[in-house]
Chain A
Amino acid sequence: MKKPYPSSLGNWLYTALLRLYPPAFRHDFGDEMLIVFQLRLAELQRQSRMRLTLFLFRETTGLVMNGLSERLRERHLQQIVLFSQGELRQPARFARFHTLTLIVVVAAFVWLIFVPYYAYGLHLKPASMVAGGNFDPKGFPVYNSTLGCYVRLLSMIVALLTPLWIAGFGSLLGITLVRYWVVIAERQRTTSLVALSLASGLLVFLFSPAGRVIMSWFMD
């Protein structure tokens, strides 16, 4: 990609975020996108600060969302799950949907993993909290309940189904799950098993023809 024209923080940020796009996309459209961004930036710099802020916000979030979508799209994820080929709007929607799913999953995990750390002190580990009996799951119902196990497992499956760059994240979740499986009490293992069965069932359903039809209702 050629060097941007006037060097500025906006250009630098834009060029950096463009790296979220697949190389082929950057090669085809990167220069043009940067030029259009520069022209818009120059235009809006002459207008109100509010419009400029909104523009920068829209551009940066647009680059992140669309960049990740293009990456997912490039890896042909749309062929794995929901939609048949053919409609112009569907692959893009699916990629966007998948990106959003990932963001939600990552956010949920950050919450699940870090909230107890902050609540009980950074020196404590989740295993010792449970094993030592100091951890009160009532404060964090999602953390140590059937629903918690379910969310964790489902998230792990979603993460593992996504492209390679997220494989490390999936592995981390796997380790977390195994760790909990070892330290949790016997009765909680039963609930975890129920959660596992539910998650597996849902996953099978999502990949089934009926699941595809239902998902397509939400996507159209």
Chain B
Amino acid sequence: MDVTGPNYLPLTETTFFILLSLAPGSKHGYGIIKEVESLSDGRVTFSTGTLYGALKRLLECGWIVGVGNPEPDESVRPRKDYRLTETGWHVLSAETDRLHKLAKLAQLWLEEGEA
């Protein structure tokens, strides 16, 4: 199954932002929510239900992977970080490329319209 093929694009905004937030490095759920809020200037806020539903599907697709296991000590909060896999990185790059081309084209047409 070619998960980087054109069938997977365009990504939903949720998927795109989650992948983008993981690009600099691994993050846990709360970190992802905060990063996405920051990246979108507060426009996109996930509920925990939305976030973990999306994370589950991304894990199933092999675009992200869970790192770090729940702490063996019961008194310490379990925490799992997520990071992009190579495939996830490819998908994110492909989508970014697509958006870039789209924006470039739109800009060109707008400039032509103004002229």
The reply to whether B55 and A29 contact each other, CB–CB distance below 8 Å, is yes
CB distance from B92 to the nearest CB of A (A): 13
The reply to whether B52 and A32 contact each other, CB–CB distance below 8 Å, is yes
Instruction: Answer whether A58 and B45 are a contact pair too, CB < 8 Å, given A29-B55, A32-B78, A70-B53.
Output: yes
User: Does B25 sit at the interface, judged by CB under 8 A?
Assistant: no
A102 to B30, CA, bound (A): 31
User: Does B115 sit at the interface, judged by CB under 8 A?
Assistant: no
CB distance from A176 to the nearest CB of B (A): 33
The reply to whether B49 and A35 contact each other, CB–CB distance below 8 Å, is no
By the criterion of a CB under 8 Å from any partner CB, how many residues of chain B are at the interface? 30
B residues less than 8 Å from A66 (CB atoms)? 47, 49-50, 52-53
A residues less than 8 Å from B52 (CB atoms)? 25, 29, 32-33, 66
Chain B window 47-62, contacts with chain A (Cβ cutoff 8 Å), 1 for yes, 0 for no: 1111111111110010
Instruction: Answer whether A69 and B7 are a contact pair too, CB < 8 Å, given A31-B70, A40-B48.
Output: no
Majority-rule SS of B interface residues: helix
User: Does A118 sit at the interface, judged by CB under 8 A?
Assistant: no
Chain A window 16-44, contacts with chain B (Cβ cutoff 8 Å), 1 for yes, 0 for no: 00000000010011011101110110000
User: Does B22 sit at the interface, judged by CB under 8 A?
Assistant: no
The reply to whether B47 and A58 contact each other, CB–CB distance below 8 Å, is yes
The reply to whether A37 and B48 contact each other, CB–CB distance below 8 Å, is yes
- Give residues in A with beta carbon < 8 Å to B: 2, 5, 25, 28-29, 31-33, 35-37, 39-40, 58-59, 61-63, 65-67, 69-70, 86-89, 91-92
